[in-house]
Amino acid sequence: MNATPVRRPWLGLVVILAPVLLVAMDGSVLFLVMPELTTQLRPTADQSLWILDVYGFAVGSLLVAFGSIGDRYGRLKLLMAGAALFGVSSAGAALAQTPEQLIVLRALMGIAGATLLPSALAVLSELFPDARQRSRAIGIFAAAFAAGFAIGPVVAGQLLDRFWWGSVFLINLPVVAVFLGLAPFLLREVRAVRPGTVDELSVLTSAVGLLLTVYAVKRIAAGGFAVTPAFLGTAGLLTLTWFVRRQRRLEYPLIDVTLFRDRVFSLAIVTGLVPLAAWSATAYLAGIHLQSVLGLPVRQAALLAVPGAVVLTITCIITPAVVARIGIRSALVACHGFVAVGLLLLLFLDADGGIGWYVASTVIAGIGYGISFSVVADTAVAAVPAERGGSAAAIAETSNELGNALGIALLGSLAAAVFRLQGPGVANTLTETVQAGISVTEAKAAFVLGLHLTVLVIALVHGGLAVLSARWIRPQVS
């Protein structure tokens, strides 16, 4: 065998990792950018939350649908089209002049991202027919995805220290250009023979239900109870309920909800969602605390996130070997335990300091996040019959993206509601209040209170999940 076919799979893996890193980074890249972005574009409180999480919602709500479309029409074609759209929408986002424009362009980036993840994983599997090499490649894939989430704020901080906020999107362009140039030569088309068609109504109702529900939560958190958002929220919940009922009746559902009858599978999916929700919400809120409460420059705030990012990435890489020795039960208990303890350390943040506690929190919680990234998909697939493994893997991927979006949407809204109720009433966000220069001390105290309450809620959830992991999973080595 000559060198070229030997090298092709690994060169192809390197090429595939480029869009994977971009999709993951763009889920977190704005966390440290928001104070500066708020100063320039002046979004409202709920517009700020939409700017942050509309990307994750677009990715999460369309992952399964684009997985099916790629199977039917070709994964490589979808991958190339998605990368091109990602590049174009990134350029548009960098040049956005209004909050509304940025929200729309972030949504387009999310749609593109939804085409990239499932297609990249399918093309990767084609590159490595050997099971052992494929397992190693998927581990690298997962580590790259985790690293992208972790280093997003760090990269953004370094760019923002030198350029304007739009530069965090422009860095996508050269990566996309290299991918589009090399992918046709190193990657092959992949199609899967699977029955049925994509149920367009399921795609529509899942996306609409999520968006209406989250919109209502944001509006009520930012402005208090009102009839219109309450009505839309109710409509969203009813739409999601109808979506679930429809999946049970379809011969080829978009999401196989019957898989959730298995406790281990359900716990795996929750472990994919909740840690990502915790990570995204606390990274966002802590970024504001470091800059707007403590007054740190963005570059310094970004560097403080490096230790946690390194620990998260290393944990993601070594977890499979550790799980082989201690078993999935112990791994999931450790996952939720480390996240809970790490989050509780954020209770020591106050209006005057807490930098050391923040770094310690990211390191300890980073171990839990790394475990989550590594074990969720394998646990979900192992919990169901082999012929349903594809559906299980798709749901696992979706749980990660929805967790990233829901963390900011729901937990961010909880913090926003506390600020609205306890703050000075000068503006709906801390950044706007600081800019106004009125009742700044009171506003900082209200923000810290919201941060503490949010952290306490999600830490208690993780503690409960650690208990469920110990009770629901048999103590055996997987």
> In this structure, what CATH number is given to the domain that contains residue 362?
1.20.1250.20
Give pLDDT tens digits for 250-261.
877 777 788 888
**Residue-averaged pLDDT of the chain:** 80
Question: Quick one: 183 and 206 in the same domain?
Answer: no
Residues 19 and 78 grouped into a single domain: yes
- Residue 227: give the domain boundaries: 199-253
H helix intervals, 327-439:
328-344, 355-382, 389-406, 412-422, 430-436
Q: What is the CA radius of gyration of the chain?
A: 21
Residues 6+ apart with CB under 8 A from 292: 35, 430, 431, 434, 444, 447
pLDDT in tens, 55-77: 877 776 676 667 667 666 677 78
* Whole-angstrom distance, CA of residue 210 vs CA of residue 22: 24
Cα–Cα distances in Å, from 12 out to 43, 243, 336, 467? 41, 38, 34, 41
Q: Are 208 and 132 contained in the same domain?
A: no
Q: Do residues 280 and 243 share a domain?
A: no
**How many contiguous H segments (helices) and E segments (strands) does the chain have?**
19, 0
Which residue carries 């929200």 as its tokens?
103
Is 219 in the same domain as 306? no
Contact between 327 and 383 (Cβ < 8 Å): no
| Domain co-membership, 22 together with 70 | yes
Establish how many alpha carbons lie within 13 A of residue 430's alpha carbon, considering only the half-sphere containing its beta carbon.
33
Q: Mean of the pLDDT values across residues 126-130?
A: 69
Average pLDDT over residues 1-10: 58
Report whether 69 contacts 78 (CB < 8 A). Answer: yes
Q: Of 93-102, 116-125, 187-196, 213-222, which one has max mean pLDDT?
A: 93-102
Q: Which of 197, 214, 245 is the last residue of a domain?
A: 197
Least confident interval from 257-271, 379-393, 419-433: 379-393
Q: Are residues 326 and 423 in the same domain?
A: yes
Are residue 189 and residue 204 in the same domain, yes or no?
no
Which is more confident, 191 or 84? 84
